[in-house]
Amino acid sequence: MDLFNQDINTQSNLLPYGGTVNYYGFLFPVSEADYYYRVLMDSVAWKNDEAFIMGKHIITKRKVAWYGDKEYSYTYSRASKIALPWTSDLLALKNIVEEKTQASYNSCLLNLYHNGDEGMAYHSDDEKALAEHSAIASVSFGAERNFLFKHKETKQTVSMRLAHGSLLVMKGETQKNWLHRLPPTKKATTPRINLTFRTMVA
Ligand SMILES: O=C(O)CCC(=O)C(=O)O
Ligand SMILES: [Fe+2]
C-alpha cells in the first residue's frame, strides 16, 4: 500500500467549487468489508421507506434504517422515523469513520438497494435537523455504483464510483450548493448497502 499517495488522494477535493467532497477509498481489507456487508444485511432493521410526494403516499423498493445516540426523529418527504439505538457493529463502524475523518457523528441513515433498478433521486441533505455545514460520512458495501453531484446554479456535474468498503465525505457548503444522486443502472445486479453518518442538532 502506498501511504503517501493515499494521503494525497484523501486531501484532494473532488468538487471544483462550492463544497468539499473527499474520497478515502478502501476503509478496510475486502474480508472485513465482506463481514460488514453480511452482518448489516442480516441484522439491520430494514424497512421500506415511505414518502409523500405530490400528495401521494409512496412506498419505496429501497429499504432504510435509522440509528442514533438518542431517539432523533428524521423526516424525509414528510414521513418521520425515530432513531433506534446503535448496534455493536454500527458503533464499531462509527468509531472507524470518526477516526478517519477527524469528526464526530451522532446518527446514521442506512439504505439498502437490492439491485441497480433502485437508486436515489437528486437531493441535498439539508434538513433543518442536521447541523449546518457538518460532515456527512458515507460508507458503501456491496455492488459498486456511480454517485453524481450536480451544482444547483451552474448545473455542472461530477461523477465518482463508490466501491465495496469505501468511504466518501461531504462537508462544508456541499449540501447548500450541490445536489447528489445514486442513478439506477442495468450494470448492478446485486445489492448495495450505504451508511451515512450524520450530526443531528439537539
Ligand atoms: O446511497 C448513497 O450512496 C447515498 C444515499 C444518500 O444520499 C442519502 O441517504 O441521503
Ligand atoms: Fe443524500
ipTM value, please give it.
0.99
**143: domain range?**
3-7+15-198
The Cβ of residue 122 has, within 10 Å, a number of other Cβ atoms equal to 14
pLDDT, one tens digit per residue, over 43-64 is 999 999 887 778 888 888 999 9
Is pTM, for the whole model, over 0.90? yes
What confidence category does residue 78 fall into, taking pLDDT thresholds of 50, 70 and 90? low
Ligand 1 atom closest to residue 125's alpha carbon, by position in its atom list: 10
Structural domain count, the chain: 1
Please tell me if the CB atom of residue 147 comes closer than 6 angstroms to any atom of ligand 1. yes
CATH number at residue 79: 2.60.120.590
Close Cβ partners of 17 (under 8 Å, ≥ 6 residues apart): 177
| Residues in the chain, total | 202
Spatial CA neighbour of 197 closest among 102, 61, 63: 102
Question: Nine-digit cell at 98?
Answer: 470518526
* Other beta carbons within 10 Å of 147: 21
Q: Model confidence at 182, in pLDDT bands (50, 70, 90)?
A: very high
Instruction: List the beta bridge partners of residue 137.
Output: 169, 197
Please name the residues in contact with 49: beta carbons below 8 A apart, sequence gap of 6 or more.
59, 60, 62, 63, 64, 76, 79
Report residue 164: phi and psi, to 5°. -60, 120
Cβ of 196 below 6 Å from ligand 1? yes
Cβ 194 under 6 angstroms from ligand 1: yes
Q: What is the pLDDT of residue 2?
A: 47
State which ligand 1 atom lies nearest to the alpha carbon of 196. 9
